[in-house]
Structure 1
Amino acid sequence: MPSGLSYPALKCVLEFLEPPKRFLITARSQSLQRVCKSTTLRVNRLENYETGLCLDNFDIGTFRNNAVLLKNEKNKRQVVNQAPSHLIQKEVVEKVKEFYMSGKLCVNQASFEKDYPENPFSLPSNFQLKTNNLDTPYVYFDHILSKIDSTCFPLNSLTIDIEEPVSLIHPVINSARYLEVFVPSSSQIIKFPNIHVLPNKNVVFFNSNCGLDDLVGIIRYWAEHGRETGTDYFFAPCEFFATDDRLHGLDEVFAEFRSDHGDEQPESPRLSIPIINSTSKINVYGNQRRSWASRGILMKVEQTE
């Protein structure tokens, strides 16, 4: 009879098992569960939402009748377990996340959704996250940062959902190689203080309420203080026709730098503003597309040809 795996070998096997297999196997053994808790869980995608979570293709959801649904999206198999009746759903969710999210998680893309006000956001006390790509509501930002391994910074990409005016001047935000700022369409008009000094090189603002004054301020600051070649800022206003309004306003303010081809050729800059003491220019493009945004304004610092 072959001997069992050594402790290091067992940890290595568990670390790279798909989540459904890992939890199915360890659920049958108390000793394996202890090993599992001390072994990093590697997944490509983590989604943490109000009533459950998703680890790659493994979805764990809870319901008001205390049912816990385990679903493998890969093979469409699912199992329904019943939590004790004396627990309320919030307590069931906490126990589910304590079981599946305790310990170290190494994740390519981590996403956190905002809970309802009556369900304060929480993570298992020993939850530790390694990720280079984070998507989170701003209200959870500091709490989640405290759970992320310091070796993960700077992040490759950071997406933050913002529902109230905040400053984007933050070392973790500003070190992200790609920053995406999403403003829910139901939110109030939001302004970002000091947006013109934001040091990030690649930024996308979805449903942003950045007005003409904000865009003019950014361009003038870049033109006066300089900006790294390759800087790329995209603005997708929340109102469909706001893009045209902003573009016409920029045309008036920077009329002397207006291009003759910007309207007919979207790939050509509409405006081309020189940067003082530099061979680069700030090129402004209209009617651009990014991801699911239908139309937006692109500001790009490019080398003069």
Structure 2
Amino acid sequence: MSVTLAYPAMGPILEFMEANKRIHLASRCPALHAIDKSTPLRLDFLDFRKNCIQINLMLYHLSHCEERYVESQSQIEDKSSRETLAPGDIQIDGNAFPKFRQFVEFRIGNGLGRESVRRLPANLEIHVALKKLSSFLLGGRATSIEVAEELVFFLNRGDILRLPENLQIWVKALKTMHTNFMDILPILDPSSFPLETLILKKASVHNLQSPVFRTARNVEILGDGVSNLDQEEWHMEFQKLPNKNIFMEYDYYGGDRIVHLVRYWMENGKEIGTCWNFVRRPWEDLVRELDLIKAEIGGTYRRAAIGYALILPFNDDSELVVHAVKIPKLPQKAIQLVIQPKVERSSFTDKIIDPFYANWRLYTLSTVLTLLFGSFFLTVVMGPYAILCVTPPIFMITIFMRSLMPTRG
């Protein structure tokens, strides 16, 4: 005898069911409707685009389409009267009566080539259909919708986000491309703050002043930066940010800007564990940028676990490490600023290794010249047999010097 579950017991099962399967199941079984709406909806990924909603891997998309008129006999007869010019009528630029009619097409796809297409009623406008769609997928929930990975808004200025009433979304990572993140704060559950990650295309001065921005644990700023009108004000606000982790993709913040940022930190302090990254183009010389910081502020080049690093004393307990890093999964490299606890170094390191890193170019040139002249002298004195005596020492010294040379960014 088979055992069936009572409908109330379906709540925990629905809660951890894949979201799209759950929505489909609840739509086919009216008895589950109330249980579905009262049970928390858990998503991995939620993306809003123009006339489109993506839940996990499933895409729900509305679009305008056209088809050529297939006219009935009555329409053909009526067409003659519609196209006949009465006295006083003027037809502009020839016959332009519509040969196509528009309708709204609804597509559901999983990104793997499987897609279902449905034509909506002719009198249903696309914005009305979008409102009905979002209400069907996300509306009427008694609790906040939980998005485990990322909530994305990819909308342009002027686009209208059609959402159900009283929608609340709990999220850890918020990504707003071409969208002001402050516009969508009303639909975010207050318990989402502080955000784990905030990703945005541009950050205005007003954004930098927002508590949501300033309290996010990780901030990524993508795109082309700020307008020329507010660069100085933007720079002043940016260097005051308390965020511990910032990733900036565009090249606006480089050179002198980094020098000003470092000076501000040294004058006003910064928390240990702060890590800010500024992406550079693949062909840019990051060592030259480090040299600029050293020339303007000072510091010492030292060999560290991360390679070639500029160390600047920060205070009695911490120091600032500036170095080049490779960005995971991207071709670019970045200048990274890290505040770390001060590292006590041995007298050998202070007296031998650190001066070498501070003047490594001079030492390297001196070593190469010494090897060349020494080899030439021995060859003159000993003849051809000098090659056998000179080659192994030169090879070993070269390997040793290469191991000491800083890694260029």
TM-score calculated relative to the size of structure 1: 0.83
Instruction: Give the alignment partner of residue 215 of structure 1, picking from 258, 264, 278.
Output: 258
Give the alignment of 1:73-84 within 5 angstroms: 73=111, 77-84=114-121
2:368 corresponds to which residue?
none
Give the alignment of 1:258-273 within 5 angstroms: 258-259=300-301, 267-273=306-312
Distance 1:84 1:259 in 2: 70
Q: Which moved more, 1:230-239 or 1:175-184?
A: 230-239
Q: What SS class does the counterpart of residue 113 from structure 1 fall into?
A: strand
Structure 1 residues 240, 98: closer, same or farther in 2, change over 3 A?
A: farther
> How much is the aligned-residue C-alpha RMSD, in angstroms?
3.0
Q: What SS class does the counterpart of residue 125 from structure 1 fall into?
A: coil
Instruction: Give the alignment partner of residue 92 of structure 1, picking from 114, 129, 139.
Output: 129
1:180 aligned partner, one-letter code: E
Q: Does 1:228 align with 2:271?
A: yes
Give the alignment of 1:130-169 within 5 angstroms: 130-137=170-177, 139-162=179-202, 164-169=204-209
Distance 2:156 2:281 in 1: 23
Q: How far off is 1:164 after superposition?
A: 4.7
Structure 1 residues 249, 84: closer, same or farther in 2, change over 3 A?
A: farther
Q: How far off is 1:46 after superposition?
A: 1.1
1:294 aligned partner, one-letter code: Q
Checking the alignment, whether the CA contact within 8 Å between 1:109 and 1:131 is kept in structure 2 is yes
1:194 corresponds to which residue?
237
1:37 corresponds to which residue?
37
Give the alignment of 1:8-19 within 5 angstroms: 9-19=9-19
Checking the alignment, whether the CA contact within 8 Å between 1:269 and 1:283 is kept in structure 2 is no
Distance 2:135 2:254 in 1: 44
2:6 corresponds to which residue?
5
Q: Highest CA radius of gyration, 1 or 2?
A: 2
2:40 aligned partner, one-letter code: T
Q: How far off is 1:303 after superposition?
A: 2.0
Distance 2:147 2:207 in 1: 28
2:332 aligned partner, one-letter code: S
Instruction: Give the alignment partner of residue 293 of structure 2, picking from 250, 253, 256.
Output: 250
Distance 1:209 1:299 in 2: 16
Structure 1 residues 113, 153: closer, same or farther in 2, change over 3 A?
A: closer
Distance 2:342 2:321 in 1: 10
Instruction: Give the alignment partner of residue 335 of structure 2, picking from 272, 297, 305.
Output: 297
Q: Which moved more, 1:192-201 or 1:235-244?
A: 235-244
Distance 2:51 2:288 in 1: 41
Distance 2:162 2:285 in 1: 38
2:130 aligned partner, one-letter code: V
Structure 1 residues 293, 204: closer, same or farther in 2, change over 3 A?
A: farther
2:279 aligned partner, one-letter code: A
Q: What SS class does the counterpart of residue 257 from structure 2 fall into?
A: helix
Q: How far off is 1:298 after superposition?
A: 0.6
2:210 corresponds to which residue?
170
Q: Does 1:57 align with 2:57?
A: yes
Give the alignment of 1:177-188 within 5 angstroms: 177-184=217-224, 188=227
Q: What SS class does the counterpart of residue 332 from structure 2 fall into?
A: strand
1:125 corresponds to which residue?
165
Instruction: Give the alignment partner of residue 101 of structure 1, picking from 138, 146, 153.
Output: 138
Distance 2:331 2:165 in 1: 37
Structure 1 residues 13, 140: closer, same or farther in 2, change over 3 A?
A: farther
TM-score calculated relative to the size of structure 2: 0.64
Q: How far off is 1:11 after superposition?
A: 2.8
1:80 aligned partner, one-letter code: V
5+ residue gaps in structure 2? 66-103, 344-409
**Could you report, residue by residue, the CA deviation over 1:151-201 in whole angstroms, capped at 9, with x for unpaired residues?**
22222211122165545132222222211111248x745743421111011
**Could you report, residue by residue, the CA deviation over 1:211-258 in whole angstroms, capped at 9, with x for unpaired residues?**
43431222112212222222100011479648577445324313x314
Greater helix share, 1 or 2? 2
Structure 1 residues 149, 163: closer, same or farther in 2, change over 3 A?
A: closer
Structure 1 residues 142, 118: closer, same or farther in 2, change over 3 A?
A: closer
2:321 corresponds to which residue?
283
Structure 1 residues 293, 89: closer, same or farther in 2, change over 3 A?
A: farther
1:168 aligned partner, one-letter code: L
Distance 1:194 1:269 in 2: 30
Q: How far off is 1:3 after superposition?
A: 6.5
**Could you report, residue by residue, the CA deviation over 1:84-114 in whole angstroms, capped at 9, with x for unpaired residues?**
2223333333322222122331111233233
5+ residue gaps in structure 1? none
2:307 aligned partner, one-letter code: S
> Aligned pairs, how many?
297
